[in-house]
Amino acid sequence: MKELFLNDFKLAIPELFLISISIFLLVYGVIYSTSDFKGYPILSSNISRLALVTLCFSIILVMNHPIEEAVFFSQSLILDDFSSFLKVLILICSFTSILISLDYLKEEKLNSFEPIILILISTGSMLLMVSSYDFLSMYLGIELQSLCFYVLAACKRDSEFSTEAGIKYFLLGAFSSGLLLFGCSLIYGFTGLIHFEELAKVFSGIEHTNAIKLGILFLAVGFLFKLTAVPFHMWAPDVYEGAPNSITAFFLITPKIAILGLFVRLFLYSFYDFLFSWQVILLISSIASMILACFAAMAQKKIKRLLVYSAIGHVGYMLLAFSCGNLKGIQALFLYLVIYLIMTINMFASILSLRHVKYIGDLHQLVRTNPLLSITMGVNLFSIAGIPPLAGFCSKFYLFFAALSSSLYLGALVGVLTSVISCFYYIRLIKIIYFESPKTWIYYSTIDKEKSLILAITSFFILFFFSYPSPLFIFTHKIALAFII
């Protein structure tokens, strides 16, 4: 028994390491930042760099784990290729989010170290989420992540918008968590089970009652809330706009990986026998997300709100791939997710480089004040719009191909049409950057080394992905195959 208990801890080494170091950094920060003897030092820069080192070691631990597949902690958590892939993706995205925020924290004088600690703790909770194998671990992981996010949204204390964002996020986030919990309660009440594997076995041999379908409906709505899918997106524009830019970048990049990973595992594994019930829900939400985001983004004058609606549209495309419910759909989903993350990182690295840009009009004639950055933004915007032969086009092409092969003709048609219409507001940004004359000139300082490196790597990927897409295609295919098997 003792040996089994120790083996459980060995299997959870990456998560335990990350959470333990987060607590250590919190204690270190509290003691030193309040030290009269040390002169009340500002530790945000030190903590940020220590966080980057911690995330690097966590990536190494995940990638070099001696055990490839196991279920541990009383079947609450699972270790497999699917969860390991998502863990590496989460850690890389968290690392990148902190890296591109280093200069922003310094310039905005956000001297508190707590946001970095909260990012680490929320990253640890995401690792637990993608390893969840029952309702209890799933809900605890989601709640730990949510509690960190509520505080992160309101971390800029001298900003009324940030405080408002935190309160809105808390109220609507608690509501969505309640829906998830109610769905779990209904399913547990009618089956007496909480483990994903046991639920999959039971559902394959019992009658599909309306009560269980209602529980699945509540779970789906709760996940769609977390993903900011239409019609459960109403909180996202205000919350993401009110939060500091560096935190908004983190919100739009990392959490989607964990939520989608958990969503896919639960619905395509435990609830696969109810495919035709939840497929309709996801397809309707997907079509609504693509249409609303497409037209709402056209009316936006603020860059962050435009990017939020753009992200809602991308969630719609991902839900379309998810709705396929087969191998091609899962591969298309994760292929699209990886490319979406790279494009979003590139976009926020560009915006954080400009620092005080708030409105779209502030980008007038950026080509004259910062030519290299304007080229980078132009390439990325074309890719997000789905212009061939950039990476964004490749991901959309494969996604629509997967939808058509699954007979989701309406979803594919709406996806193609909204993708074409959305080119309008992306190309409008390019027009402003390159051709429109500004009323007042804005001077932008030199981009720091960290963001320059990130922009170079992501831009290279976006530009040349089409020339050698095989590694990512093969990798996502293996992940999808491992999950199906």
Mean pLDDT for 268-277 is 83
443 — pLDDT class (breaks 50, 70, 90): low
Element (H, E) at 72: strand 70-72
Segment among 154-168, 319-333, 340-354 with least mean pLDDT: 154-168
Predicted confidence (pLDDT) per residue in 87-99, tens digit: 999 999 999 988 8
Predicted confidence (pLDDT) per residue in 223-256, tens digit: 999 898 988 888 888 888 888 888 888 888 889 9
Q: Say what the pLDDT of residue 199 is.
A: 87
Residues in the chain: 485
Does this model's pTM top 0.85?
Answer: yes
Q: Please report how the helices 81-99 and 255-265 are oriented relative to each other, as an axis angle in degrees rounded to 10.
A: 170
Q: Say what the pLDDT of residue 204 is.
A: 79
Q: In whole numbers, what is the pLDDT of the chain averaged over residues?
A: 85
Predicted confidence (pLDDT) per residue in 137-175, tens digit: 999 999 999 999 988 888 877 777 788 888 888 888 888
Instruction: Report how far apart, in Å, the C-alpha atoms of 430 and of each of 84, 345, 461 are.
Output: 38, 18, 20
Residues 6+ apart with CB under 8 A from 295: 421
Q: Say what the pLDDT of residue 111 is.
A: 67
Burial of residue 46 (number of CB atoms within 10 Å: 0-12, 13-18, 19+):
middle
Q: Residue 42: is its pLDDT beyond 70? A: no
Q: Say what the pLDDT of residue 438 is.
A: 65
Q: Which residue has the higher pLDDT, 276 or 421?
A: 421
Distance from C-alpha of 43 to C-alpha of 47, rounded to nearest angstrom: 6
Q: Say what the pLDDT of residue 291 is.
A: 92
% of the chain residues with pLDDT over 70:
93
CA atoms within 13 A on the CB side of 26: 13
Q: Say what the pLDDT of residue 479 is.
A: 83
439 — pLDDT class (breaks 50, 70, 90): low
444 — pLDDT class (breaks 50, 70, 90): low
Check if the beta carbon of residue 354 is closer than 8 Å to that of residue 296: no
Predicted confidence (pLDDT) per residue in 1-18, tens digit: 555 556 777 788 888 899
* Rg value, the chain, Cα: 22
192 — pLDDT class (breaks 50, 70, 90): confident
66 — pLDDT class (breaks 50, 70, 90): confident
40 — pLDDT class (breaks 50, 70, 90): low
Element (H, E) at 71: strand 70-72
For the record, the structure tokens of 415 come out as 């996806």
Q: Residue 336: is its pLDDT beyond 90? A: yes
Predicted confidence (pLDDT) per residue in 452-484, tens digit: 889 999 999 999 888 888 888 888 888 888 766
Segment among 20-24, 196-200, 352-356, 380-384 with least mean pLDDT: 352-356
% of the chain residues with pLDDT over 90:
25
Distance from C-alpha of 43 to C-alpha of 36, rounded to nearest angstrom: 14
Q: Say what the pLDDT of residue 288 is.
A: 92
